């Protein structure tokens, strides 16, 4: 039996790596991947607590998170493609105008 706290520590570590990615990388696609990493670490924590409490509700929440993440990725990547068409870059430092 693996202690619950090990899973939570792993989840915290992965979440922190996601935060580091968002704060230090500048390629918008890698930023997006870091956000996905954070979503996954939160999912891992939810599944861990679902097992610790023997409650299926935690896993249902993860199911909805995955659905929302899929929708978010589809819209976000479409936005990135639209930005790339007008700015010719995916560097977030170069994208500094609200006007297209």
Partner 1 sequence: MELIIFLITAAVAVAGAVAMLLSPNAIHSAIFLLINFVAISVLYVLLYAPFLFVIQLIVYAGAIMVLFLFVVMLLGAERAEDTRERFAWQRPLGLTLAAILLGLIGYIALRGPASDATVADQQFASPERIAEALFTTYLLPFEITAFLLLAAIVGVVVLHMSNHAGSRG
- Quote the CA–CA distance of 45 and 68 in Å, as a whole number: 17
Binding string, 2-41, against partner 1, x = CB under 8 A?
A: xxxxxxxxx-xxxxxxxxxx-xxxxx-xx-xxx-xx--x-
Residue numbers 67-96 binding partner 1 by CB under 8 A: 67-75, 77-82, 84-86, 90-91, 93
Q: Smallest gap, in angstroms, from Cβ of residue 50 to partner 1?
A: 7
Residue 41, judged by CB atoms within 10 A of its CB (0-12, 13-18, 19+), counts as buried
CB of 94 to partner 1, least distance (A): 9
- What is the closest distance, in whole angstroms, from the C-beta atom of residue 98 to partner 1 in the complex? 16
Question: How far is 22 from 33, CA to CA, in rounded Å?
Answer: 9
Total residues in contact with partner 1, by rule CB under 8 A: 73
Residue 5 Cα distances to 2, 13, 18, 24, 98, angstroms: 9, 12, 20, 28, 44
Q: Least CB distance from residue 86 to partner 1, whole Å?
A: 8
If the CB atoms of residues 69 and 97 are measured against partner 1, the closer one turns out to be 69
Question: Would you say 41 and 14 are in contact if contact means Cβ atoms under 8 Å apart?
Answer: yes
């Amino acid at each position: 039996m693996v202690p619950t706290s090990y899973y939570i520590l792993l989840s915290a570590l992965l979440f922190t790596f996601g935060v580091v990615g968002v704060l230090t990388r500048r390629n918008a696609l890698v930023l997006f991947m870091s956000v996905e990493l954070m979503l996954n670490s939160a999912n891992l924590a939810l599944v861990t607590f679902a097992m610790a409490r023997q409650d299926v509700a935690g896993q249902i929440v993860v199911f909805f998170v995955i659905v929302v993440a899929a929708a978010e990725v589809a819209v976000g990547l479409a936005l990135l493609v639209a930005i790339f068409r007008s700015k010719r870059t995916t560097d977030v430092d170069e994208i500094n105008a609200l006007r297209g």
